[in-house]
Amino acid sequence: MKEKIDLNKLPNHIAVIMDGNGRWAKKQGAARVFGHKSAIKAVRDITEGCAELGVKYLTLYAFSTENWSRPKAEVQALMQLLVSTIRSEVSTLMDNDIKLATIGDTKSLPSRCQKELSEAMEITAHNNRMTLFLALSYSGRWDILNAAKKMALDIAENRQLIDQIDEQDFANYLDTSGVPDPELLIRTSGEQRISNFLLWQMAYTEFFITDVLWPDFRKENLYEAIISYQNRERRFGMISEQVNG
């Protein structure tokens, strides 16, 4: 499948809602946490797959603001897994020249997660091939509200003129500041919703929804998503003739 991808029409930025870990585990009579542990392989495979192709930004929805409402033991297990995974994957990130970054309210994460993350970000800071964003304690509404607060402060302190603020200025207050909007969103496990992910940034993103559960998602599935994206006509409100003219 890889040969069918047009490398000149690659998305710059792919966003992924990694969903279905719990159902994957349940299907084999295991605890949900086993699904989360088994998801690491998919994360590694897709991160590597994107970097190899030349995708510049990959954003993985790893933990939403709403996920804090899950049973305490599951939240704890996810945080523990985050720490151990970051620790073990730094060498893979270095080998693949990938920079690690985060979006979301990471200050709300346990301090050992924050420490592990900031160390990994520091170590990988000069890598250039691709940036991997982990969305942690992230939600689109949190991002927009946070941006609005920062902008309000700049207005109140005369660093911004309210009448001159355009969409680009506002986007610069978001956690994704400086990063192009994702052209492609992949959601696994068949759910057809956005679950409070990149609400502002996905205004014109193409959606690829697959029934594959996240722990089973591999490079071939990634290629299928990219090929599907490349076969679409993105009209941005215009008509076909304009886009092709």
Q: Which residues bind Mg ion (CB under 5 A)?
A: 19
Q: Which is nearer to ligand IPE, 10 or 39 (CB)?
A: 39
Contact flags string 67-96 toward ligand IPE, x per CB under 6 A: x----------x------------------
3-class secondary structure, 218: coil
Write the CA distances from 44 to 58, 91, 132, 220, integer angstroms: 12, 12, 11, 13
**Does residue 160 bind ligand IPE (CB under 6 A)?**
no
CB of 136 to ligand IPE, least distance (A): 9
**Does residue 46 bind ligand IPE (CB under 6 A)?**
no
Task: Confirm if 39 and 29 have CB atoms less than 8 A apart.
Answer: no
**Does residue 139 bind ligand IPE (CB under 6 A)?**
no
Q: Which is nearer to ligand IPE, 10 or 14 (CB)?
A: 14
Catalytic residue among 12, 67, 172, 196: 67
3-class secondary structure, 2: helix
Which regions of 149-224 does DSSP assign to beta strands (E)? Answer: 184-187, 206-209
Give contact residues for ligand IPE (rule: CB under 6 A).
17-23, 61-64, 66-67, 78, 189, 191, 193, 195
> Which are the catalytic amino acids?
19, 67
